[in-house]
Structure 1
């Protein structure tokens, strides 16, 4: 159950024939009508313009209008603070019943929820609508590294992790740090044995690798792919269930190499906890229809995302499972 989730109560106002008044009826006996379409569709990005949440909102704003799943342009609004925490609390406290609004989220949101960084609310305080794309984690070495496979790297790392500083584009506890932890665990070492170098973004990780300042880089496929293709770095494994298309088609997954590591960086959406079941279902159904269109595929590809569609109850279970997994990893790391 959510921590202090607002009580669920839906009230509808029925016009009384042609008269200028109405009767408020608590929806214990009368369900609200199914939502035909939002009259003012909106996507809330919990950060400044230009980041991942903005990308996530723009993905559906553009594709849903192109495919005529919405008749009005979707407004994208921004509410920065706490990497989505301020927006999350705003939806819960102010817009829990607003069926016009969906909000952007990512696997990073699940990570922060697991660490208690979204305040007093947990992952059950909203309704998770779906994920419509993903990037995937990658483990990278310099182009002149002696290690050609993930298995070779792990064997060497297992002998002495102090010789293998791992760079990531985020602080301790971030997604890149988590990828490094999974590498350490695969080599039989706890998180505390990892030498983690926190840098500002994937560009800094690439610079550190190319300059020989670190041995391993943890990052995302989209930001590393062209550097791998250009021969500037070598991606040893993608943390995906199957090989990725395009420039990384020749890179094996970690699982192919006998290492059970996956890290999808999903891009998804949630809605207020007290939105009606019918309105929630409307969004799920539209996302399902959208995901099958060529217009959406083009929008997703243009934003550097790979196919990853998970909707409704299946997505809800995914978020809950991610939060539980991240809590376990954090606990094992002493966080």
Structure 2
């Protein structure tokens, strides 16, 4: 009996020892560094392991808007072409033209390698306006890539008496309060400046033009078609279906040269004799304290995506103009446009 008990105790001790040894070698969060007698944390994952979980791309707008379309197109191509193995979720965060999202992203998400967002010059404008609603701007992010351009358009209803930009601007110059301009974002935004910049160059005081902002481009289009506005400022991709349906006329496009397809007969603002152009880029950004591994991954991945046939198809379907710029080039564009927009807003007494 005594011998059996001793054998049982030896067996239990051996099992316990083997379990302890297995736990030490399992990589369960701690390790004993030889020669120190101290426990060290498990080393960080290698650069090649990123990304390891679901990624979120934020569209700082409601569903169906320009940012939403951009984010979903990016996510679709990355997943369908297996350029990213993990799931990608598109998250809509509307409010304040993106300022509500930025307040969260620039503070609580500044180290989150798994959250990106798409934006436009609105990111700069919200931060530059003296009555702007965001203390955060592009300098609170890591610019990863510019992917394409969209182009501003100046639109009127199909039955409008205006058939060219000059006649419209002549009437605005004579009586600015006579006509109402609608846009899908706040005063000082891209929609606003698409008309205000050429109007200013034409000799019209931008502060005298009656601008009504709506929550999104679909609502501003509804206002135009419903007779609550005389002019609409939007982007080409958002109005194409209405042009095809014969519901609106596009008087001018804010582009360096005429666009093709549906807009092939629409003159540029410069063709109207007005030296004005507001570049509307669309780009991808990461958090300010993004890790070098994540930044390198996205720079490489977004470049490959921009060269793919799937992405070129998205550009064609949405009437977007391919204009890829890498992170360094994109940073330079942002710096230059930020300075130019600040000067423009000063002329309108809207800069900080």
* Band the TM-score falls in, shorter-chain normalisation: 0.7 to 0.9
Residue in structure 1 matching 2:84, options 56, 64, 70: 70
Change (3 A) 1:295 1:144: same
Match of 1:219 in 2: 234
Does residue 1:173 correspond to 2:188, yes or no?
Answer: yes
Match of 2:264 in 1: 249
Give me the TM-score of the superposition, normalised by structure 2: 0.76
CA RMSD, 1 decimal: 3.4
Given that residues 180 and 194 in structure 1 are in contact (C-alpha distance below 8 angstroms), is that contact kept between their aligned partners in structure 2? no
Note the alpha carbon deviations across 1:285-323, whole angstroms, 9 max, x for none: 211111111111223444553423222122122223333
Deviation larger for 271-280 or 14-23 = 14-23
1:248 is displaced (CA, Å) by: 1.0
Residue in structure 2 matching 1:55, options 55, 69, 76: 69
Match of 2:324 in 1: 309
Match of 1:287 in 2: 302
Residue in structure 1 matching 2:108, options 80, 94, 98: 94
Give me the TM-score of the superposition, normalised by structure 1: 0.80
Match of 1:39 in 2: 52
Does residue 1:190 correspond to 2:190, yes or no?
Answer: no
1:103 is displaced (CA, Å) by: 1.8
1:151 is displaced (CA, Å) by: 3.2
In 1, Cα distance between the equivalents of 2:161 and 2:208?
22
In 2, Cα distance between the equivalents of 1:187 and 1:35?
54
Given that residues 154 and 186 in structure 1 are in contact (C-alpha distance below 8 angstroms), is that contact kept between their aligned partners in structure 2? no
Give the secondary-structure state (helix, strand or coil) at the position aligned to 1:269.
Answer: strand
Match of 1:22 in 2: 40
Change (3 A) 1:210 1:51: closer
1:56 is displaced (CA, Å) by: 2.7
Instruction: Pick the structure with greater CA Rg.
Output: 2
Residue in structure 2 matching 1:228, options 238, 243, 253: 243
Match of 1:266 in 2: 281
Equivalenced residue count is 318
Change (3 A) 1:198 1:87: closer
Note the alpha carbon deviations across 1:208-234, whole angstroms, 9 max, x for none: 545665443222212222322333322
Change (3 A) 1:189 1:66: same
Does residue 1:129 correspond to 2:144, yes or no?
Answer: yes
In 2, Cα distance between the equivalents of 1:23 and 1:205?
55
Residue in structure 2 matching 1:115, options 129, 137, 156: 129
Give the secondary-structure state (helix, strand or coil) at the position aligned to 1:284.
Answer: helix
Match of 2:5 in 1: none
Given that residues 89 and 118 in structure 1 are in contact (C-alpha distance below 8 angstroms), is that contact kept between their aligned partners in structure 2? no
1:113 is displaced (CA, Å) by: 2.0
In 2, Cα distance between the equivalents of 1:175 and 1:63?
27
Change (3 A) 1:197 1:121: closer
1:156 is displaced (CA, Å) by: 4.2
Change (3 A) 1:194 1:46: closer
Higher relative contact order (CA 8 A, sep 6+): 1
Deviation larger for 85-94 or 120-129 = 85-94
Match of 1:104 in 2: 118
After superposition, residues 149-164 of structure 1 pair within 5 angstroms as 149-164=164-179
Match of 1:299 in 2: 314
Change (3 A) 1:275 1:171: closer
Identify unmatched segments of 5+ residues in structure 2: 1-28
Given that residues 99 and 279 in structure 1 are in contact (C-alpha distance below 8 angstroms), is that contact kept between their aligned partners in structure 2? yes
Give the secondary-structure state (helix, strand or coil) at the position aligned to 1:242.
Answer: coil
Match of 1:28 in 2: none
In 2, Cα distance between the equivalents of 1:319 and 1:65?
28
Give the secondary-structure state (helix, strand or coil) at the position aligned to 2:267.
Answer: coil
In 1, Cα distance between the equivalents of 2:278 and 2:290?
31
1:235 is displaced (CA, Å) by: 0.8
